[in-house]
Structure 1
Amino acid sequence: MSREKEVKTNAMRFLDKKKIPYKVVQYECDEFTDGMAVADKTGIEIERSFKTLVTHGRKGEYYVFVIPVAMELDLKAAAKAVGEKSVEMLHVRDLLAVTGYVRGGCSPLGMKKHYKTVMDSRILNFREVAVSGGRIGSTLLMAPEDLLGAAQAMTGDIARNEDE
Structure 2
Amino acid sequence: MSKTNAARILDRLKLPYQLLEYEVDPDDLAAESTAEKLGLPPEQVFKTLVVKGDRTGVCLAVIPGSAQLDLKALAVLAGNRKTDTVPLKDVQPLTGYIRGGVTALGTKKAYPVYVDESICTFETVAVSAGKRGLMLWLAPNDYLTATEGTLGALVKKTTP
TM-score range, shorter-chain basis?
A: over 0.9
Q: Could you say which residue in structure 2 is the equivalent of 1:47?
A: 43
Q: Does 1:154 align with 2:154?
A: no
Aligned positions, number: 159
Q: Could you say which residue in structure 1 is the equivalent of 2:52?
A: 56
Q: Could you say which residue in structure 2 is the equivalent of 1:128?
A: 124
SS at structure 1 position matched to 2:144: helix
1:23 to 18, 21, 24: 18
Inter-partner Cα distance in structure 2 for 1:137 and 1:106: 11
Give unmatched runs, 5+ long, in structure 1: 1-5
Q: Which residue identity does 1:58 align to in structure 2?
A: D
SS at structure 2 position matched to 1:134: strand
1:34 to 13, 19, 30: 30
- Superposed CA deviations along residues 32-65 of structure 1, whole A, max 9, x for unmatched, are 5100000001112222111101111113610111
Q: Could you say which residue in structure 2 is the equivalent of 1:10?
A: 5
Structure 1-normalised TM-score?
Answer: 0.92
Structure 2-normalised TM-score?
Answer: 0.94
Q: Which residue identity does 1:88 align to in structure 2?
A: D
SS at structure 2 position matched to 1:11: helix
Q: Could you say which residue in structure 1 is the equivalent of 2:92?
A: 96
Q: Could you say which residue in structure 1 is the equivalent of 2:64?
A: 68
Alignment check: 8 A CA contact 1:35 1:50 kept? yes
SS at structure 1 position matched to 2:108: coil
Q: CA deviation at 1:76?
A: 0.3
Give unmatched runs, 5+ long, in structure 2: none
Q: Which residue identity does 1:25 align to in structure 2?
A: L
Percent sequence identity is 38
Q: Which residue identity does 1:57 align to in structure 2?
A: G
Inter-partner Cα distance in structure 2 for 1:59 and 1:152: 20
Q: Which residue identity does 1:66 align to in structure 2?
A: V
Inter-partner Cα distance in structure 1 for 2:120 and 2:18: 18
Alignment check: 8 A CA contact 2:55 2:81 kept? no
